[in-house]
A and B are shown apart, each in its own frame.
Chain A
Amino acid sequence: MASVSLRGIEKLFGSTRVLNGVSLDIADGEFVSLVGPSGCGKTTLLRILAGLEAQDAGDVFIGGRPVDDLPPKGRDIAMVFQSYALYPYMTVAENMALPLVMRRTSFAQRLPVIGRMMPGTGRTIRGISDEVSAVAESLAIDHLLARKPGQLSGGQRQRVALGRAMVRRPAVFLMDEPLSNLDAKLRVQARTEIAQLHRRLGATFVYVTHDQAEALTMSDRVAVMMDGELLQVAPPQDVYADPQHVKVAEFIGTPQINLVPGRVRADGGVEVLGMALGIGVSLPEGSTVSVGFRAEAVGMTAEGGGHCSALVQHIEHLGSEMLFHLGANGLERTVIARIHPARSPGARPGDSIGIELHGQRAFVFGKDGRRIPALPSATTHAPRLFEPGAMLRTASA
Chain B
Amino acid sequence: MRTARTSLRSRIYSVLRHAILLTGGVVMLFPFIVMVSTSLKPPSEIFSPTFTLLPQEWYAIENFREAFTRVPLARFILNGLLVGATIFLFQALFALPCAYALAKLRFAGRQMTFVLVILALLIPPQVPAIPLYIGMWQLGILDTYAAIILPSTISVFGIFLMRQFFLQIPDDLIHAARIDGLSEFAIVWRIMLPTAIPALTAFAILSFVWNWNDFFWPLIVIQSEHLATPPLGIVFFDNAEAGTNYGPLMAGAVAITAPLVIAFLVAQRRFLEGFAMTGLR
Listed in ascending order, the chain A residues whose CB lies under 8 Å from chain B are: 47, 50-52, 71-73, 77-79, 81-83, 85-90, 98-99, 102-103, 164
Q: A89-B194, A89-B195, A102-B186 are in contact. Are A78 and B179 (CB under 8 A)?
A: yes
Complex CA–CA separation, A86 to B176 (angstroms)? 8
| A residues in contact with B46, CB < 8 Å | none
With a cutoff of 8 Å between Cβ atoms, the chain A residues found around residue B170 in the complex are 83, 85
Contact residues in A for B194 (Cβ distance below 8 Å): 87, 89-90
Min CB–CB distance B273 → chain A (angstroms): 15
Is B178 an interface residue when CB atoms closer than 8 A count as contact?
A: yes
Contact B172 A73 (CB under 8 A): no
12 more A-B contacts (CB under 8 A) besides A52-B178, A81-B175, A164-B176? A50-B179, A73-B178, A73-B179, A79-B179, A86-B176, A87-B177, A87-B195, A89-B197, A98-B180, A99-B181, A103-B181, A164-B180
- CB-defined contacts of B82 to chain A, threshold 8 Å: none
| Closest Cβ–Cβ distance, residue B87 to chain A (whole Å) | 23
Q: In whole angstroms, how far apart are the Cα atoms of A164 and B173 in the complex? A: 13
Could you tell me the distance between the alpha carbons of A80 and B106 in the complex, rounded to whole angstroms? 23
Inter-chain contact A79/B176, CB cutoff 8 Å? yes
Please, how many angstroms separate the alpha-carbon atoms of A98 and B194 in the complex? 15
Chain B residues, CB < 8 A from A83 = 170, 172
- Asked if B181 contacts A102 (CB within 8 A), the reply is yes
* B209 at the binding interface (Cβ < 8 Å): no
Q: State in angstroms the CA–CA spacing of A77 and B197 once bound together.
A: 31
CB <8 Å contact, B172 and A85: yes
Contacts of B173 in A (CB 8 A): 85, 87
Q: How far is the CA of A81 from the CA of B170 in the complex (A)?
A: 11
A-B contact pairs, 9 of them (CB 8 A): A51-B178, A73-B178, A73-B181, A77-B179, A79-B175, A85-B176, A89-B195, A98-B180, A98-B182
- Contacts of B195 on A, CB cut-off 8 Å? 87-89
Q: Which of B176, B186, B197 contacts A81 (CB 8 A)?
A: B176
Chain A nearest Cβ from B114, distance in angstroms: 19
Chain B 158-194 near chain A by CB (<8 Å), digits 1 or 0: 0000000000001011011111111000100001001
Q: Is the CB of B191 within 8 A of A85?
A: no
A78 cross-chain contacts in B, Cβ below 8 A: 179
Contact B176 A73, beta carbon cutoff 8 Å:
no
> What is the CA–CA distance of A149 and B163 in the complex, to the nearest angstrom?
24
Q: Which residue of B lies closest to A98 (CB)?
A: B180
Q: Which residues of B contact A77 (CB under 8 A)?
A: 179
Bound-state Cα–Cα, A72 to B179, Å: 5
CA distance A71 to B173 in the complex (A): 16
Q: Which of A52, A73, A88 contacts B180 (CB 8 A)?
A: A73
The docked-state distance in angstroms from the alpha carbon of A102 to that of B185 is 13
Minimum CB–CB distance for A43 against chain B, Å: 11
The smallest C-beta distance from B186 to any residue of chain A, in angstroms, reads: 7
Residues of A within 8 A of B172 (CB): 81-83, 85
Q: Contacts of B186 on A, CB cut-off 8 Å? A: 102
Q: Which residues on the B side are within 8 Å of A50 (C-beta)?
A: 175, 179
* Complex CA–CA separation, A236 to B89 (angstroms): 58
Within 8 A of A (CB), among B171-230: 172-173, 175-182, 186, 191, 194-195, 197
Residues from chain B with a CB closer than 8 A to the CB of A82 are: 172
Residues of B contacting A73 in the complex (Cβ-Cβ under 8 angstroms): 178-182
Shortest Cβ-Cβ A-B pairs, 10 listed = A102-B181, A85-B176, A73-B181, A85-B172, A99-B180, A81-B172, A89-B194, A72-B179, A72-B178, A85-B173
Contact B182–A102 (Cβ < 8 Å)? yes
Picked from A52, A72, A79, A87, the residue with its CB within 8 Å of the CB of B191 is A87
B178 to chain A, nearest CB (A): 5
CB distance from A229 to the nearest CB of B (A): 25
Per the bound structure, the CA–CA distance linking A82 and B176 in Å amounts to: 11
Nearest chain A CB to B170 CB, angstrom units: 6
